[in-house]
Amino acid sequence: MGEPVKPLRVGMVGAGKISGAYLDTLARLDNVRLTAVTDLDPGRAEQAALKAGGEVAVAPSVVDLAGRDDVDAVLNLTIPAAHASVALTALSAGKHVYGEKPLTANRGEAESVLAAARAGGLRVGCAPDTVLGTGTQTARKAVDDGLIGAPVAATAFMTTPGHEAWHPDPEFYYQPGGGPLLDMGPYYLSALVHLLGPVARVTGAASRPRAERAIGSGPRAGEVFPVEVDTHVTGVLEHAGGALSTLVMSFDIHAARLPRIEVHGTEASLSVPDPNRFDGPVELYRQGVWQELPVSAGYPEGGRGTGLADLAAALAEGRPHRASAELAGHVLDVMLTLLDSAHQGAALAVHSTCERPAPVVNAAATP
């Protein structure tokens, strides 16, 4: 027997709200170990280190964290506007990167990150990893197994009145790099690429009904801030394989009874669970009846950080990781092209593409 594979040692940048979910997942993963954390607020970094337990160092800066000998990969949980700078700092220090979505705020930054990774022979992964769970993966297996016939169309809806109702510091959702499409679109578009493949052309429309929003909770409740991005985006996506997806992403809808994702084929229809979750029921409509499918694929009991664990396993096994920067870069390009289409009033080609990530075929598998 060979030597046991050592865990991937991870330094976490950003100890904000989402970090708690990552810390919960990292605590139960065997192939990933948190060794250091940093945040612009040292107090938050210290709290995260205490929650993680063990010997987790608090680094004074991103540069210091990326330069540590006990860090193999940097987990980038900063706001979207900082994703590229943190990733490039980590890559320049010779460290792999796994980050929150979106990959970067614009195409130029994404290209810089991908180029730096290639030059250094390093891996870059990116959320969402929810699509590696049993929900989306069971649905993907149904599509791949031909249960709906040839895919014809899909719908994807994400509707909320806005994150300011619950988030105590929501401004970044309404600044460049934010908005419903760039915030929540990665979940839905990543799922659609897993289900139907890359997107070749888009047609979009968008609006910004309110110039200002008010914080609804926390110590700053009632404080008003400006809206700098479109808050309702709709579009049609033409997949390279021929299927058409209709997309609605909104921070302007108080309530709706819309499905999350549905995929329709020549023989049947498929109801896909919320791509912001790892699990959920998958239902097939065929011969006049909706029937829930048994779980047949995906990482079970997934949590934020499953994609990082998959990256660690991919490094050990010498295979591509599934929550890849190439997929995230294509998703970013699709979203930005959709916004360009909305502002120009014309259908536009998506110039990037990507391979569909390998399916997670064994429902009993762990990263």
Measure the N-to-C terminal CA separation of the chain; round to a whole number of Å.
21
Considering the domain delimited by 8-126, tell me its CATH architecture: 3-Layer(aba) Sandwich (3.40)
pLDDT digits (tens, 9 = 90+) for 110-154: 999 999 999 999 999 999 999 999 999 999 999 999 999 999 999
Q: Is 95 a known active-site residue?
A: no
pTM: 0.94
Residue ranges of the domains in the chain?
8-126, 133-294+329-349
Domains 8-126 and 133-294+329-349 share a fold: no
Over residues 304-349, the pLDDT tens digits come to: 999 999 999 999 999 999 999 999 999 999 999 999 999 999 999 9
Task: Classify domain 133-294+329-349 by CATH number.
Answer: 3.30.360.10
Burial class (CB in 10 A: 0-12, 13-18, 19+), 51: middle
Separation between Cα atoms, residue 366 and residue 31, nearest integer Å: 10
Cα distance between residue 229 and residue 66, in whole Å: 32
14: CB partners within 8 A, 6+ apart:
39, 76, 77, 78, 79, 100
Mean pLDDT, rounded, of the chain: 95
pLDDT tens track for 93-107? 999 999 999 999 899
**6 in Cβ contact with 30 (< 8 Å):** no
List the catalytic residue out of 51, 95, 101, 141.
101
Enumerate residues 6+ apart whose C-beta is below 8 A from 34. Answer: 10, 11, 12, 23, 26, 52, 54, 56, 75
Residue 44: exposure state from Cβ atoms within 10 A (0-12, 13-18, ≥19) = middle
Q: What letters, b where the CB count within 10 A reaches 16 and e where it falls short, cover 327-352?
A: bbbbbbbbbbbbbebbeeeeebebeb
55-75 pLDDT, tens digit each: 999 999 999 999 999 999 999
